[in-house]
Each structure stands twice: as structure tokens, then as C-alpha cells.
């Protein structure tokens, strides 16, 4: 995954969830550490889809547990870009 993709994802998370945690990494859990709920996850998916011009299935998003899972999804979704 390119550094640009990671930075874009980090920016999205920071813009939407800055009140939850200051520092996070690949192993940061979305629910337990960032305090995301289902609505937050939907908003995050929409923002990622918009930024990367892709579609993320509900099944894929529901399987996300950590920030690293998001990185992996975007890496796979944008591999051909």
C-alpha cells in the first residue's frame, strides 16, 4: 500500500473521529479503541469510497476490526490504480 493511501485513510479517520483518540496505528481497534458505532462505520465507508472512487461491500466493512483492516481493503481495492 502506498504512503499516499495510508495518509488519506488517516486523514479521513482524524477528520471524523479526532475526539476518540490522538494516536493510533494499524492495530488500533475501530470499536474498542476509537469508539466507532455502526453509523460511524457507515460514514467511514462512504468517505473512503468517495476518496478512492471505489465500492466497499457491506460484508467487507463489517469484517473490519482494526485500522489495518481498512488499509488492507483499500490496498486491494486500489491495487490496479
Q: Which three cell numbers stand for residue 52?
A: 478512492
Taking the chain (81 residues) in runs of 10, the rounded mean pLDDT of each run is 87 77 83 89 96 94 95 74 43
Q: Using alpha carbons only, what angle is made at residue 51 by residues 58 and 68, rounded to the nearest 5 degrees?
A: 60
Q: What are phi and psi of 44, to 5 degrees?
A: -65, -45
Is 37 in the active site?
Answer: yes
The CATH number of whichever domain residue 13 belongs to comes to 1.10.1200.10
Count structural domains, the chain. Answer: 1
What is the model's pLDDT at position 80?
Answer: 45
Residue 9, domain extent? 3-77
Please give the model's pTM, rounded to 2 decimal places.
Answer: 0.84
**Catalytic pick among 22, 37, 58, 81:** 37
Amino acid at each position: 500500500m502506498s504512503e499516499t493511501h495510508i495518509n488519506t485513510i488517516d486523514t479521513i479517520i482524524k477528520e471524523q473521529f479526532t475526539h476518540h483518540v490522538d494516536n493510533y496505528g494499524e492495530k488500533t481497534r475501530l470499536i474498542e479503541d476509537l469508539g466507532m458505532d455502526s453509523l460511524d462505520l457507515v460514514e467511514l465507508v462512504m468517505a473512503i469510497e468517495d476518496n478512492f472512487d471505489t465500492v466497499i461491500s457491506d460484508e467487507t466493512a463489517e469484517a473490519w476490526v482494526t485500522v489495518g483492516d481498512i488499509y488492507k481493503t483499500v490496498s486491494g481495492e486500489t491495487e490496479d490504480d
